C-alpha cells in the first residue's frame, strides 16, 4: 500500500495580521498554515497572548526573510499600571500592591521617560523565551526557579507620553529588536519607587507594515498574501 503524501499549495509572500487577544503567535501561524494549505509559515517577532496588533508572517519562500524582517524597528501603544508589581511584569502574573505607593506627579514621569531614550541595558523578564542552558526562562520560572538572565542592549528611538491618570500610564514607543515592553513597565515603576506592570499592549508597526494595513485572521485567503517585494518597500 503506497504512502499518502499531503499536497500543499505553492504560495510565497507576506501576510500582515492584526493578532487578536488571547492568541499566541504560534496559534496564528498554525491557523494561517491551515487556511492557506501551505507548509512553511514563519512570524517575524513574537507577540504575547495578551497583546494585539501587527504580526508579520512570511509564507513559503518568504520564510527566508524572517530574520531580516525580525530586525525591523517596531512601534507599540502600551498601558502601564503603577502602584504594584507582577511576577510576570504584566497582568498575567501574581500582582502585589506596593505598600505606601501614592500618586506620582506627571513631571516625575516625564523626567524618568527621558532616561529610557537611546540605547541602554535591559533585563529581560523572568517569564520570557530567553534560553538558559537549553531551557526557556519561562519554563524555569513556572517551576519556581529564577533564571540567571543577562541584561541586553536595547534601543528606544522615541517614547511619548500619551495619557496619564494615576495609576494608569499610556505610552507610544518606537524601539529596536529584542526590546521588552514588559521590562520597561517594570523598570519605570522601579525608578519611580511605586512599582509598575504592563496591562495593555498593541503593536502598531513593524518596519513599514502598519496596523492600518493589517487584516484579521478571518480575512486570510490567497489573494490577501502580499508579494515578497513588499518586504523591501
As annotated, the active-site residues are 48
What is the DSSP secondary structure assignment for residue 226, as one 8-state letter? B
Answer for the pair 207, 72: CB distance below 8 angstroms, yes or no.
yes
**Long-range contacts for 164-168 (Cβ within 8 Å, ≥24 apart)?**
164/106, 164/109, 166/82, 166/83, 166/103, 166/104, 167/81, 167/82, 167/83, 167/84, 167/101, 167/103, 167/194, 168/79, 168/80, 168/81, 168/82, 168/199
Q: DSSP per residue over 63-101, as a string?
A: GGGHHHHHTS-EEEEEEEEESEEETTSBTTS-EEEPTT-
Reduced to 3 states, what is the DSSP secondary structure of residue 181? helix
Residue 7 is inside which H or E element, if any? none
173, 184 in Cβ contact below 8 A?
yes
Beta-strand relationship, 95-97 and 84-86:
antiparallel
Amino acid at each position: 500500500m503506497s504512502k499518502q503524501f499531503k499536497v500543499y499549495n505553492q504560495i510565497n509572500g507576506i501576510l500582515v495580521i492584526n493578532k487578536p487577544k488571547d492568541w499566541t503567535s504560534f496559534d496564528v501561524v498554525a491557523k494561517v498554515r491551515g487556511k492557506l494549505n501551505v507548509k512553511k509559515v514563519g512570524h517575524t517577532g513574537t507577540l504575547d497572548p495578551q497583546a494585539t496588533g501587527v504580526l508579520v508572517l512570511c509564507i513559503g519562500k518568504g520564510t527566508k526573510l524572517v530574520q531580516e524582517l525580525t530586525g525591523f524597528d517596531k512601534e507599540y501603544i502600551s498601558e502601564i499600571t503603577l502602584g504594584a508589581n507582577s511576577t510576570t511584569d504584566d497582568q498575567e502574573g501574581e500582582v502585589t500592591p506596593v505598600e505606601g505607593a501614592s500618586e506620582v506627579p506627571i513631571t516625575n514621569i516625564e523626567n524618568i521617560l527621558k532616561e529610557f531614550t537611546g540605547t541602554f541595558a535591559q533585563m529581560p523578564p523572568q517569564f520570557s523565551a530567553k534560553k538558559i542552558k537549553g531551557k526557556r526562562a519561562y519554563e524555569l520560572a513556572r517551576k519556581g526557579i529564577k533564571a540567571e538572565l543577562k541584561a541586553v542592549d536595547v534601543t528606544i528611538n522615541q517614547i511619548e507620553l500619551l495619557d496619564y491618570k494615576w495609576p494608569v500610564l499610556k505610552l507610544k514607543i518606537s524601539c529596536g529588536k529584542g526590546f521588552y515592553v514588559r521590562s520597561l513597565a517594570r523598570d519605570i515603576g522601579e525608578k519611580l519607587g511605586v512599582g509598575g506592570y504592563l496591562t495593555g499592549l498593541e503593536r502598531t508597526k513593524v518596519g513599514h507594515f502598519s496596523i492600518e494595513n493589517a487584516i484579521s485572521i478571518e480575512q486570510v485567503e490567497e489573494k490577501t498574501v502580499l508579494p515578497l517585494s513588499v518586504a523591501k518597500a
